[in-house]
Amino acid sequence: MLNDPLFLVVALACLAVLVVLMIGIGGFARGGDFNRKHANRLMRYRIIAQAIAVLLILLFVFIRGGIGGR
């Protein structure tokens, strides 16, 4: 599975979601000016990255035969 390019793209997309989430949580925990300026933008980025990751996961499962019982 590690040799599969689509799997690597899915893993990178999930990692991107994690990074954006951690930056958002860190900004929320610190509060202050950074949180006021960037909290909503980071939330939007996380939602977009998460939607892309979910679509890629579904594409991976569909292409690799997980749906349809081949």
pLDDT-derived band of residue 1, with 50, 70 and 90 as boundaries? confident
Six-digit token pair at 30?
Answer: 């610190």
Average pLDDT, the chain: 91
Residues 33-59, mean pLDDT to the nearest whole number: 94
Task: Kindly give, in sequence order, each residue whose CB lies less than 8 Å from that of residue 65, ignoring residues fewer than 6 positions away.
Answer: none
Q: How far apart are CA 3 and CA 43, in angstroms?
A: 32
Among all chains, which residue has been given the structure tokens 């949580």? 25
Q: How far apart are CA 26 and CA 59, in angstroms?
A: 31
